[in-house]
Amino acid sequence: MKEVHIMANANSTPIRTSLDRLKVREYSWGRIYQGTQVDLIASGLVKPEWFPGPGTAKNASRIAMVDGEMRVLPFGRAATSEQRRQGLVQIFKRNKREFEAWIGFNEEEKDRQRLKEEIEKQHAEKKRALDRAPKSPQDFREDRKGLIKACLGGVFNLFRRADNGYHYSREVIEQANDLMCDLLDLAEDGKVYFDPKRQQYFLDDIEKKFEKENPEFSAFMKATLAIGKAAL
């Protein structure tokens, strides 16, 4: 697929190209480009002879690899599985002015797309883990108090509930409640220390988890860093 780069004039002011004027939607199978016939052709994404017209349906056309060249398939002929693996293009007429070009990824592009999506997913999970981590003593207290309160709720219910008619006295339940309150107060007001080494252990655990779930990406990054160091 031909790439169209943003150009600039003598004053370094960006110039909008035909590709910039297209609406683009990306999916796991490919991309949909929507715009005028002129802009679609000028972007280099499709050829003039690919658009719906003689030999194709009135409002749609399909283009696939035939004898090593992308050609319009005759009306009514379905693309083979091999042609779909190599990348199928479909062009739809949406209205008097605009068309949509559905450009499917080939197998190699699909593999790259799947890896990209998986990496993005893991990066998002990594970011969430870092965002959830406490950034101050007060953050730590609030987070820990919430966890302790949830645990104590289950413990306190053990004091309140009966089993086969047996149950703790009201005095015992009140003492248990007082103990729970004391523990929550301690969690809220207790002194908190910061240990840089333990923080590094936490960060290392997140990195190891990310590397374990993304071995291909991790190997690629290590190789890239090694090449960069060697160049220096």
What gap in Å lies between CA 201 and CA 12, rounded to an integer?
47
What region, left, alpha or beta, does residue 8 occupy, with left being phi > 0 and alpha being psi -120 to 50 degrees? Answer: beta
pLDDT tens-digit series, residues 92-138 = 998 888 999 999 888 888 888 887 788 788 888 888 988 999 999 99
Q: Where are the domains of the chain?
A: 7-105, 110-231
Dmax over CA atoms of the chain, in Å, equals 91
- pLDDT of res. 5: 39
- pLDDT of res. 124: 86
- Give which of 52, 40, 46, 142 is closest to 89, Cα–Cα: 46
Asked if 129 and 121 touch (Cβ cutoff 8 Å), the reply is: no
| Residue bearing tokens 């071995």 | 215
What gap in Å lies between CA 75 and CA 52, rounded to an integer?
10
Asked if 60 and 90 touch (Cβ cutoff 8 Å), the reply is: yes
Which residues of the chain fall short of a pLDDT of 50? 1-15
Name every residue whose Cβ is closer than 8 Å to that of residue 65 and which is 6 or more positions away in sequence: 71, 83, 86, 87
- pLDDT of res. 83: 86
pTM value is 0.49
- pLDDT of res. 224: 53
Q: Where are the alpha helices (DSSP H) in 91-169?
A: 107-132, 137-160
- pLDDT of res. 146: 94
- pLDDT of res. 107: 82
- pLDDT of res. 3: 39
- pLDDT of res. 117: 80
- pLDDT of res. 115: 79
